Structure 1
Amino acid sequence: MSHHEDQTEQILQYCRDIKLPTIRQCFQKDIEDAVQQDMNYEAFLVQLLQKEWDARRATAQYNRIRRAEFPYKKYLEDLSVTDLPEDAQKKYHLLKTLKFIEEGRNLILAGNPGTGKTHTAIGLGIKACEVGYRVWFTTVPLLINQMKECRSEKTLRSFQMRFEKYDLVIVDELGYISFDKEGAELLFTHLSLRAGRKSTIITTNLSFERWGEIFQDPVMTAAMIDRLTHQAYLVNMNGNSYRMKETKEWLKEQQFN
């Protein structure tokens, strides 16, 4: 083995040992490019480290989005802002800054079906993942079932600790399905754990005065509304159905095909 080959093998081994996969893959080509460009050592090292850093950042973003358990990917850039309800249009650019997460405030998107509540929530969640926040998406029915299972398996405390640590939890579909007293109490307890400290996005098709229909306890309903709305960002999502508009446009396209 030549001296050059020996050095190359040493570099490969060091990259394996200290876990630098991107540098391991590209350093030989980058050396050739550096020689051709008469690049100094500092610039060459910066280039290598930049590639490793970029790759790790992309991997971390991918993993945060995967662990968030979004049902599908919806990006803010895909939203037709002009088709959102008026209040959402006014607050869109503020929400996009993710300031509410930095401040540990809740965001409640309330309005009739099809107006972009879930799309907006997922879009904000993905953007939060991209900038480094830990996010988890769930629906109210799934969350309640999971909490009940954890209680029966005596793992509820462990679940609570994980639930508290997320920078952002998205709880979708509040109001579509009512639940029993145990479910209401578990939901109240867990959402209260985050109140005033970490952000929660809630999407609901019910106005606040109708929340009693799903909690079935006026005292708990009042307490829940008070906790969740305190210093929260509230967005009125009542408006024309965004999905209905897309369906009509799709049907028109089919007529001309």
Structure 2
Amino acid sequence: MSKPKDWIEDITNFSKDLKLPIIRQCFQEQIKESSQKDASYEEFLALLLQKEWDYRQETAQYNRIRRAEFPYKKHLEDLLISELPEDAQKKYKQLRTLEFIKEGGNLILAGSPGTGKSHMAIGLGMKACEEGYKVWFTTVPLLINQLKECRSEKTLRAFQNRFEKYDLVIADEMGYISFDKEGAELLFTHLSLRAGQKSTIITTNLSFERWEEIFQDPVMTAAMIDRLTHQAYLVNMNGNSYRMKQTKEWLETQKLM
């Protein structure tokens, strides 16, 4: 008959081989706690498994956020809702449900600089990661450069396969830099791959009427707008810059010092 210490050693070895690190770390403590309150075997096992499950959920969430490549971490809770443009305030509650991702719909945040477009996009992306969605953040200029590099290195197909599988792609800063015909065509092709299937968030400082300035092709511009806005959530982000407001408040505090 095995001695108690032999069982302890077996549990340690089995949990190590089965890659159950939290069970390996916690089972002896859980044995003591369960013995003290005379818990059933079922309760003991369930609590031990829950600790392992919680750990794996936290690790998976951490990895999703890391792989999303956000430039910085911003949560929706960090937003000052009262400082957002009026249209964003009205649609905030609906957007934070992430229904648009479940529907495979797009979200266009269009408006003047400093009104919270990137913060809201990143906040929604962070929440999506927390809820189990696969997310990737990029800027439009960086995306175009990456697409060109993949084409020249003949790895474009592999990139396309990854790009299509993200539940949410955030393409920030549409309109800050114009691009050539090759860049426009690559961007159009890849964003079109996701249309109606997976969600894309676009942030832009230009109204749709001015998108031709960056695509430099009226036909492609019209087609891009049509693909991106079909059954999409459109949010008017024109308003006062809260970033400028914060800067002014900071300057005022410096005068008082």
Bin the TM-score by the shorter chain.
over 0.9
Report the Cα distance in structure 2 between the residues aligned to 1:246 and 1:186, rounded to whole angstroms. 38
Tell me what 1:141 maps to: 141
Report the Cα distance in structure 2 between the residues aligned to 1:209 and 1:255, rounded to whole angstroms. 43
Q: Do residues 127 (structure 1) and 127 (structure 2) align?
A: yes
Superposition deviation, residue 221 in structure 1: 0.3
Q: Do residues 34 (structure 1) and 34 (structure 2) align?
A: yes
Tell me what 1:199 maps to: 199
Superposition deviation, residue 18 in structure 1: 1.0
CA RMSD of aligned residues (A): 0.9
The 5 Å alignment of 1:217-256 reads 217-256=217-256
Report the Cα distance in structure 2 between the residues aligned to 1:107 and 1:201, rounded to whole angstroms. 5
- Over the matched positions of the two proteins, sequence identity in percent amounts to 77
Report the Cα distance in structure 1 between the residues aligned to 2:144 and 2:124, rounded to whole angstroms. 23
| Secondary structure, counterpart of 1:39 in structure 2 | coil
Tell me what 1:93 maps to: 93
Match of 2:46, as an amino acid? V
Tell me what 1:216 maps to: 216
| Secondary structure, counterpart of 1:234 in structure 2 | strand
1:73-92: CA deviations, max 9, x gaps? Answer: 00000000010000000000
For structure 2, the 5+ residue unaligned runs are none
Report the Cα distance in structure 2 between the residues aligned to 1:113 and 1:47, rounded to whole angstroms. 50
| Secondary structure, counterpart of 2:136 in structure 1 | strand
Match of 2:193, as an amino acid? L
Match of 1:73, as an amino acid? K
1:181-219: CA deviations, max 9, x gaps? Answer: 000000000000000110000000000000000000000
Superposition deviation, residue 252 in structure 1: 2.7
| Secondary structure, counterpart of 1:114 in structure 2 | coil
Q: Do residues 154 (structure 1) and 154 (structure 2) align?
A: yes
CA distance 1:31–1:255, change in 2 (3 Å): farther
Tell me what 1:182 maps to: 182
Superposition deviation, residue 7 in structure 1: 1.0
Report the Cα distance in structure 2 between the residues aligned to 1:246 and 1:52, rounded to whole angstroms. 43
| Secondary structure, counterpart of 2:70 in structure 1 | coil
Superposition deviation, residue 251 in structure 1: 2.1
Aligned residues: 256
Report the Cα distance in structure 2 between the residues aligned to 1:221 and 1:18, rounded to whole angstroms. 54
| Secondary structure, counterpart of 2:138 in structure 1 | strand
Superposition deviation, residue 5 in structure 1: 1.8
Tell me what 1:104 maps to: 104
Tell me what 1:43 maps to: 43
Superposition deviation, residue 241 in structure 1: 0.2
Report the Cα distance in structure 2 between the residues aligned to 1:207 and 1:70, rounded to whole angstroms. 25
The TM-score, its normalising length taken from structure 2, stands at: 0.98
Aligned structure 1 segments of 4 or more residues deviating by more than 6 angstroms: none
1:2-58: CA deviations, max 9, x gaps? Answer: 822211110011101111111111111111111111111111111101111110000
1:219-240: CA deviations, max 9, x gaps? Answer: 0000000000000000000000
Report the Cα distance in structure 2 between the residues aligned to 1:71 and 1:214, rounded to whole angstroms. 24
Superposition deviation, residue 245 in structure 1: 1.3
Superposition deviation, residue 164 in structure 1: 0.4
